[in-house]
Amino acid sequence: MTDDVEVLPSTESARRHLAPGDVGLVAPRDFVSSHPFTFKSGQVIPGFTLRYETYGQLNATRDNAIVICHALSGDHHCAGWHTPDDRKPGWWNNLIGPGKAVDTRRYFVVCANVLGGCQGSTGPSSINPETGRPYGILFPFVTIRDMARAQKLLLEHLGIAKVHAIIGGSMGGMLALLSTIEFPGFIRRVLAMATTGRESAQAIAFNEVGRQAIMQDPAWNRGDYPKEAGPRVGLAIARMMAHITYVTDASMDRKFGRRKKDGAHADAYTFDVQFEVEGYLRHQGQSFINRFDANSYLYITRALDQFDLAHADGSLEKAFAPVDAETLIVGFTSDWLFPPEQNRSLALALLRAGKRASYAELSTDLGHDSFLLESEELYALVRAFLERDEPYEFDYAI
């Protein structure tokens, strides 16, 4: 057995703070590759780092790994707590842990911050060894394929012989699907949620508005800015606008309606915060700029725009030709960023290519972020897909 999770000492405070199903207190680790890495663009960096976390134990046959792929604004910290004083656990803590849908008593779970990111992995904010300064926009353009190749090197470093399943939502779903195409025979199952084979013009347009908000901020300075400064206003606006695409009118109306902030007067003529929803969006923007790099936002959203599974081969069916993993695609009825028909088309293409594929569509009014929220129906679906031993047809129609 190999236990690659670093568990911090338990304290009375931690025991009070942690729920029984949590993986506990965890710490990230760094995988450092000292070999030159060539991007799809042909650009080369002398090496890279991926920050990652693991939960559970790798079994003797080294084939019980579950790889978690994060979305645009996510990172490697998908479960557990870094300190007893943390206000929130990892972003998918509701799904991952002992006895949960992704059961860490059974699986060895790995999640890495993507190449191009800013949470410990090599990206635009990392130091360029040739200049001694952050790469900024001299960092190579990164693609989802580059992310997949870097992640594969990490998994080999961890001694994983075969991945039991790779799971991701949104951008994470793209990464999961492409990994299955790129590395056939290495991944048994793929579970992609709220994702797409390529972004629509509308999704690209939203990303461009966010990029322009950043690049038109004078503090962006063509990507050359101090670590603790930079285009904070532009990045906050980009986050506020993007967050609106992750939810729905119904969910925002239910949560905020037209309620005014405490102290706001109905007849006040001011541009200060008047409505609760305004305060919520400003909070989203402010919290985001404290943890995310603006250049990484530019690079990753461009990687999303360029992602197109069918382009090189002419069709999704041809793109999926190498796949030998069993696939489950999950769409959400209220997702208008990557709507159900885009998810369904992936499963249909896999079936037409002769692959083992299923599609599930869950009814929700929570929008694109539905895959992150608590849902017993989703948990049951994930657990069944991961734990069954024989092929099983889900009772969901395509």
**Active-site hit among 146, 217, 335, 369:** 335
Rounded to 5°, the CA angle 320-337-168 comes to 50
Q: Is 210 left (phi over 0), alpha (psi -120 to 50) or beta?
A: alpha
Any catalytic annotation for residue 335?
yes
Q: With the CA atoms of 135, 45, 312 and 305 taken in that order, what torsion angle do they form, in degrees rounded to the nearest 10?
A: -20
Tell me which of 368, 369, 370, 375 is the catalytic residue. 368
> Is 106 exposed, middle or buried, given 0-12, 13-18 or 19+ CB atoms closer than 10 A?
middle
How far apart CA 385 and CA 104 sit, in angstroms, is 15
d(CA 23, CA 7): 9
Distance CA 18, CA 119 (A): 24
Active-site pick, 125, 170, 334, 370: 170
- What span, in angstroms and rounded, lies between the C-alpha atoms of 204 and 223? 21
Q: Which residues contact 395 (CB under 8 A, 6 or more apart)?
A: none
- 170 catalytic residue (yes or no): yes
Interhelix angle 232-246/276-289, rounded to 10 degrees, is: 120
> H or E segment at 190?
strand 189-193
Just list the catalytic residues.
Answer: 170, 335, 368
